Structure 1
Amino acid sequence: MVKYTTQNDLKEIVTDILKKQSNLKSVFFVGCGASLSELYGAAYFLRQNALKLHVEWIQANEFNYSHPKLADKTAVVIVASLSGETKESVHAIKNAKSLGCHTIALTHVPESNLTKDADYTVVHSFFEDYASKAAKQKDALGLAVELLQQVEGFDLYKEMKQGIDVVDDITNFAADSVKKEAIEFGTKYKDESTIYTLASGANYGVGYSTANFIFMEMQWISSPILDSGEYFHGPFELTVKDAPYLLFMSDGKTRHLDARALEFFQKYNAKYTVIDAKDFWLDSKMDSDVVDYFDPLVLTGVMRVYAEELSKARKHPLSKRRYMWKLENY
């Protein structure tokens, strides 16, 4: 039976890295596709809170062909791949290792090729329940929390640890509670060829994943991903009557950006659906000062239910592909 990595294991990994390299300067979150999107929240957390650590969120093949000069012995490179076999990500961790970086493989498969050049392997769940769909995000966030605490110190460390402890239960509860809304969503959007996806703050990663992988990859629906704040700087020109939108609303600091977009949808009679983190009462289970960083995990579980119902309504299974797994080298 596979042993999944615990938060205490993540703490020990960071402690061990700092024993080898006390002058840690940079953290790189590296991946492709959905795995890249699932690293966004952790990178966002560090960018918001780190005073010294340099943080980058970078596509694996971009790292391979144009890696930053800060990728050296003072850097930690976290590379994610669900299967552990994504070629670009396997190459990225090998390249990071050759540059002297401290390498962490984040995967569901402990003996995969991704782990061969990794100094450390973090193994996450995926198939057990709706919370497990966000397990990669949770482990990436857990690493980010430990890196910040041990390198700089963080005054909300206990609050983040408590959030990590309870977020799975919140996610599963949230996913179980939205079946009716998800069925309505599937019926409402089943014939759309385009759905505009909006999100802000830490939730941008969920929006990115939903647009690129649930809509475009799994359902063949065109879906531009828009930052809720940036929406008003060009893209809102396409907001006409019945234009289809999906909006992820934050329960934290950037909620105003999402609310402003929602008001515009309403004013111009767009066809919109809102998935609002506030509906799932995260701040009743964790400190409101850290709720921003846990919204994406909960929304990921909820969106999976919506995706399942959309696929049923469209009679297009989530596993159906036109090119992936069928063409050599793709």
Structure 2
Amino acid sequence: MTPKNIITTIKERQPNIKSIVYVGCGASQADLYPAKYFLEENSKDIRVSLYTANEFNYATPKAVDSSCIVITASLGGTTPETVEATSKAKKLGAHVITLTHIENSPITKDADYVLVHGFEKNYAAKLEKMTLAVQLAVEILYQFEGYDNYKEMINGFDKIYNLIEESVSTVLPEAKKFANSYKDDKLIYLMGSGATAKVAYSTSLCLLMEMQWVNSGNFHNGEFFHGPFEIVDKNVPFLLFMNDGKTRPMDSRALTFLQRFDAKITVIDAKDFGISSVISPKVVDYFNPMLISGVMRVYAEQLAIARSHPLTKRRYMWKLEY
């Protein structure tokens, strides 16, 4: 089924959806954030929330019932906490949709609807989970409340994958420069805003701490001046994500401050790749995270090469009981 067909079917069964709950862990939770961000900004009537899976399991929101859509995600479909959350949502009567790369994986057992996404084919395929989640969000808004920019979003979905592939094909020189410059840093800070805020979060937690064993922190650019900016100094390493859209002034303000004190800065800017010339400025905010994530993957791969530390290397994950 397509996202459109799934939401049409749910609406036929339950015309009065009151809440949407997104559930995942780590990168999968972050991949759901742009969808949550879209609905939060545009929906007038629907309650929207995002939970890490065990928080959902231990402190389940009362809104999870037949008037709720729960959307879960797990790349391999085996994350124990998210599998449990999917089953719990089903038992509570919610309409459960799951996103996974592996058909018939454990997470699909209690899901009402399953969207299987790509991953290996190319860089764009790695962003299918995030994009499908936003497609579901757009259909929820359009079918239950109406949405003036629906056509612009559909056009964006048609264009984003090609834009990612075109963009990543140009960034290798800058990615190598980043890798060689940052390979010996013991700590790297990540910053982002808007729909891209959780890209900074997942890059920090997953690509750096999990996959490279590099200490990292992440801040929302709007929160930067409410505490974190005190650690800025000459040559302190930062990686800043800049959006094309409404929250760009926050990104620019943060960049100006970092430059003022001669911090060590690398910027990945969606505007550099011409995103608003391909996708309508009315909806460009919601496509920044896909593009920036695709480009960041190239940077991460080059950092792994420069550090002689493969992205697949682990010492605890999947190796110990925890």
Q: TM-score, normalised by structure 1?
A: 0.97
The match for 2:60 is 67
Which of 132, 142, 145 is the matching residue for 1:139? Answer: 132
Alignment of 1:91-106 (within 5 A): 91-106=84-99
What is the letter of the counterpart of residue 237 of structure 2?
Answer: P
Q: Match of 1:201, as an amino acid?
A: G
Aligned-partner Cα distance in 1 for 2:234–2:203:
23
What is the match of residue 206 of structure 2?
213
Supply the AA of the counterpart residue of 2:269: D
CA distance in 1, matches of 2:302, 2:271: 22
Pairing partner for 1:299 from 289, 292, 299: 292
Which amino acid in the other structure matches residue 78 of structure 1? I
Aligned to 2:224: 231
Q: CA deviation at 1:112?
A: 0.4
Match of 1:180 among 173, 179, 185: 173
Normalised to the residue count of structure 2, the TM-score between the two structures is 0.99
In 2, the alpha carbon distance for the partners of 1:179 and 1:46 equals: 34
Equivalent in the alignment of 1:163 = 156
Deviation by residue 1:111-134 (Cα, 9 ceiling, x = unmatched): 101000000001100111011111
2:43 matched residue in structure 1: 50
The one-letter amino acid of 2:262's match is: N
Within the candidate set 237, 255, 271, 1:278 is matched to: 271
Q: Which residue of 2 aligns with 1:198?
A: 191
Q: 1:133 & 1:248 partners in 2: Cα distance?
A: 18
Deviation at 1:205, TM superposition (A): 1.6
Residue number in structure 1 paired with 2:29: 36
The reply to whether residue 118 of structure 1 matches residue 106 of structure 2 is no
SS, match of residue 72 in structure 1: coil
AA partner of residue 93 (structure 1): T
Shift of residue 247, structure 1, vs aligned partner: 0.1
Q: What do residues 56-107 of structure 1 show as CA deviations (whole Å, max 9, x unaligned)?
A: 0110110000011111110000000000000000000000001110001110
Separation of aligned partners in 1, 2:255 and 2:74: 34
Matched pairs, number: 322
Amino acid of the structure 2 residue aligned with 1:29: Y
Instruction: Supply the distance in 2 between the matched residues of 1:205 and 1:163 (Cα, whole angstroms).
Output: 20
Q: Aligned with 1:226: secondary structure?
A: strand
Matches within 5 A, 1:2-41: 9-41=2-34
Given candidates 246, 263, 279, the residue that maps to 1:253 is 246
Question: Residue 189 of structure 1: which of 182, 185, 205 is its match?
Answer: 182
Q: CA deviation at 1:136?
A: 0.3
Runs of 4+ that moved beyond 4 A = none
Q: 1:231, 1:133 → 2: CA distance?
A: 29
Q: Which residue number in structure 1 is paired with residue 261 of structure 2?
A: 268
Q: Percent identity?
A: 52
Unmatched segments (≥5 aa) in structure 2 = none
Shift of 1:209: 1.0
2: distance between equivalents of 1:169 and 1:244?
A: 31
Question: What code does the residue aligned with 1:233 have?
Answer: H
Q: What's the offset of the Cα at 1:161?
A: 0.5
CA distance in 2, matches of 1:10, 1:308: 31
Once the two structures are TM-superposed, the CA of residue 321 in structure 1 deviates from its matched residue by 0.6
Q: Report what 2:70 is aligned to.
A: 77
